[in-house]
Amino acid sequence: MEKPVRVRYAPSPTGPQHLGGVRTALYNFLFAKKHKGTFIIRIEDTDQTRFVEGAENYMLESLKWCGITHNEGPGIGGDYGPYKQSERKHLYRQYADQLIESGYAYYAFDTPEELEAMRERMKASGIPNPQYGAATRDYMKNSLVLPHDEVKTKLANGEQFVIRMKMPRKEEIKLQDLIRGWVVFQSSQLDDKVLFKSDGMPTYHLANVVDDYLMKITHVIRGEEWLPSAPLHVMLYKYLGWEDVMPHFAHLPLILRPDGNGKLSKRDGDRLGFPVFPLNWTDPETKENSIGFRERGFFPEAFANMIALLGWHPGSVQQELFSMEEMIQLFTIEHIGKSGAKFDFEKAKWFNHEYMKKADSKILAAEFKKVLTEKRITDSDEHIVAICESLKQRCTFISEFWDNSFYFFTEPTVYDDQVVKKKWNEKTKAIMKELSASLAAQTDFSFSALDTFLHSFVKEKNLNTGDVLPVLRIMLSGTKNGPAVYELASLLGKEKSIERMAKAEAEFDKMISV
RNA sequence: GGAGCGUUGGUCAAGGGGUUAAGACACCUCCCUUUCACGGAGGAAUCACGGGUUCGAUUCCCGUACGCUCUACCA
């Protein structure tokens, strides 16, 4: 009988959460939901020096925005709390002590200077990257080489110490990664990692393993950057006697920068002009602002969809648009890719546009109304909804709405002079007068009615569409881009259309006379 | 330098011993619209390279190259 699935997302509050973090959280969440399990958030704040004000809150808010909700963790608690490592401080020492007693760990008293000296010495003798490990520990100041009495005295005197793992000299460490298959490491390549720091806090390695054990985590789904330290974690489970409840591991591929190589960073976003953080972030130190996907105008559903597909695809189905519910149904770790994915902002925009097209115009209108209100523009809800219905076909973000629809709300003051200079003459002037008159007689101002009306007008008078429609467009909106002319006129309404035609006529005359 | 991981079109990717190697984004051409966008029809890859295994490899194995990650009393 399989254990109930319990997974966790365990970020460090050292700065704003970025895309990769959100994706890791999302995959954990999807996996948990898929298996009707539990998704836990645990704050790994064992490094007091790197703590950043507001980072934890930011992370929580980002996930909430994306629709990623946790079952246990900050804000909601749970049976395995507390969920912040700084509040679990008292828990870790006993396990480090257990390791020392069973001979798998030891006290080390070396000062940073002594460590540096050792590294320099080793480098000088031709070893490019010296490690504190099987080859060097016999020459350092630790409980393995110091006499028992001296160790006791040092501890009694309150001398600073760390607790280090004693890596076996020659052992093969195997682990089965759910994404990569069997991965083998030689213990001789691994060093004696610090498990417990001199400040009384555990390092990531110890705290992580202890907490995963205590919280009954069944699957560890985390970034690929952890793969090299995974064997250490496996050893820890073994030495602590928890081998039979060791979780399964899945190391996620990285999200790469769009150009060149390497991990996506804030710099890339700044350089290429797109967000790399889910929400706006202001650095508490430098006061530097970074824009978030949310503020850039992304819909949370589109963002989650986009991020999920950066490294995962359910296969078989030929589909890219998935609701959270669909992703939960389809999610499997087996379908996570092995190689890093380059982030492509163009594709991200495409996702948003797709969600835009599917969005309810009433909801869009409610959002757009805020923009209009700021500009002191009032209009009927039905009219705004109708305009949004047209706008969502051509805009990726609501922030683009105004630039693509201002002429519905304000009279044009500038007219595209290229078109005017090219098309405006006595003949077209006469035609437009005539068109205005027949428009005034039109009773049905719907899209389809106007469409047929306009085309039959051109046909009956034996004119060229190109001499009429573009001119009418400029008369009505001032710009040459926008929806189809019949749509434009219909949305504007009969009265305004005719008014604007009259005004434009006078303006056009002025324009060509200069 | 060492260890680990990775490598299907510019990008995301499906597929996995025998296929005309899906689809999407971007790009180009054309159609629609005498507008932009949407929409539609096309264009472009021999699956990093070299060896094996096999009747047959993009798919399995081994090398090489390249890339990435890690190599802290950071996570």
DSSP secondary structure of A4-73: PPEEEE---SSS---HHHHHHHHHHHHHHHHTT-EEEE-B----GGG--TTHHHHHHHHHHHHT---SBB
pLDDT above 80 for A260: no
Q: Give A461's contacts (C-beta < 8 A, 6+ positions apart).
A: A431, A434
Lowest-confidence pick of A248-252, A263-267, A280-284, A401-405: A263-267
**Highest averaged pLDDT of the listed ranges A23-27, A138-142, A447-451, A454-458:** A23-27
Q: Which of A64, A89, A266, A429 is catalytic?
A: A266
**Length of chain A counted residue by residue:** 514
pLDDT of residue A478: 92
Q: Measure, in angstroms, how far nucleotide B42 C1' is from residue A318 CA.
A: 21
Lowest mean pLDDT among A39-43, A127-131, A221-225, A411-415: A127-131
Provide the CA A394 to C1' B8 distance, Å, integer.
33
| Average confidence (pLDDT) over A28-37 | 98
Query: Looking at A197-331, which runs of residues are DSSP E strands?
Result: 219-223, 248-252, 255-256, 281-282, 289-290
Single-letter residue type at A415: Y
Decide if pLDDT at A1 tops 80.
no
Q: Is the dihedral of CA A194, A195, A200, A204 positive or negative?
A: positive
pLDDT of residue A89: 94
Task: Please report, in angstroms and rounded to a whole number, the separation of the first and last CA atoms in chain A.
Answer: 87
> What residues have CB less than 8 Å from A39, skipping those under 6 apart?
A7, A8, A9, A28, A29, A32, A33, A68, A69, A70, A71, A72
Looking at residue A124, its pLDDT comes to 85
Q: What is the mean pLDDT of chain A?
A: 93
Q: In sequence order, what are the residues at sequence separation of 6 or more whose Cβ sits closer than 8 angstroms to the Cβ of residue A363? A: none
pLDDT (tens digit, 9 = 90+) per residue, A164-186? 999 999 899 999 999 999 999 99
Burial of A64 (0-12, 13-18, 19+ CB in 10 A): middle
CA dist list (Å): A490 to A104, A453, A493 = 80, 12, 5
The per-residue pLDDT for range A313-362, each reduced to its tens digit, is 998 788 999 999 999 999 999 999 999 999 999 999 999 999 999 999 99
- From the Cβ of A102, is strand B under 7 Å away? no
Residues with Cβ within 8 Å of residue A274, at least 6 apart in sequence: A296, A345, A348
Predicted pLDDT of residue A107: 96
| Closest by CA position to A354, among listed A384, A322, A313 | A322
Whether residue A378 has pLDDT greater than 60: yes
pLDDT in tens, A391-444: 999 999 999 999 999 999 999 988 888 888 888 888 888 999 999 999 998 888
Question: In terms of DSSP bridges, do strands A162-165 and A341-342 run parallel, antiparallel, or are they unpaired?
Answer: unpaired
Q: Report pTM.
A: 0.94
pLDDT > 70 in chain A, percent:
99
Query: Nearest 10 degrees: CA dihedral of A45, A46, A48, A54?
Result: 0
> How many helices (H) and strands (E) are present in chain A, helices listed first?
21, 13
How big is chain A by its Cα radius of gyration, in Å? Answer: 33
**Cβ-based contacts (< 7 Å) between A 369-398 and strand B:** 393-394
Active site residue A266: yes
φ/ψ of A172, rounded to 5, equals -95, 130
The average pLDDT across A71-84 equals 94
Closest C-alpha to A23, from A256, A248, A190? A256
Tokens of A474: 């400029």
* Nearest nucleotide, CA A49 to C1': B74
Mention every residue, 6+ apart, whose C-beta is less than 8 A from residue A288: A282
Mark the nucleotides of strand B covered by protein, meaning any atom under 7 Å from a CB.
1-8, 10-15, 22-26, 33-38, 67-75
CA distance A216 to A247: 8
Residue A86 has pLDDT above 80, yes or no: yes
Instruction: For residue A268, name the pLDDT band (cuts at 50, 70, 90).
Output: confident
Q: Which helix (H) or strand (E) holds A184?
A: strand A181-186
Lowest-confidence pick of A9-18, A62-71, A113-122, A247-256? A113-122
CA A362, C1' B67: Å apart?
A: 48
